[in-house]
């Protein structure tokens, strides 16, 4: 898979890659996993809150 990053984001991505000695693919993959997990958590939380409020 290929993604296109704007130059500013690409520059911002390079710093954590250097600090952690990981490549861009690893850092972006982890960020996407975290974001997907966060979105799933928020959906589940909202569903539970609707149930509790009923």
Extract long-range pairs of 2-8: CB within 8 Å, 24+ residues apart.
3/28
pTM of the shown model = 0.77
In contact, 27 and 16? CB cutoff 8 Å = yes
Span 1-54, pLDDT tens digits: 899 999 999 999 999 999 999 999 999 999 999 999 999 999 999 999 988 887
């Amino acid at each position: 898979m290929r993604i296109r990053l704007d130059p500013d984001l690409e520059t911002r991505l390079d710093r954590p890659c250097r600090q952690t000695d990981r490549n861009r693919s690893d850092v972006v993959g982890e960020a996407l996993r975290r974001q997907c997990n966060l979105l799933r958590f928020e959906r589940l939380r909202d569903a539970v809150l609707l149930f509790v409020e009923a």
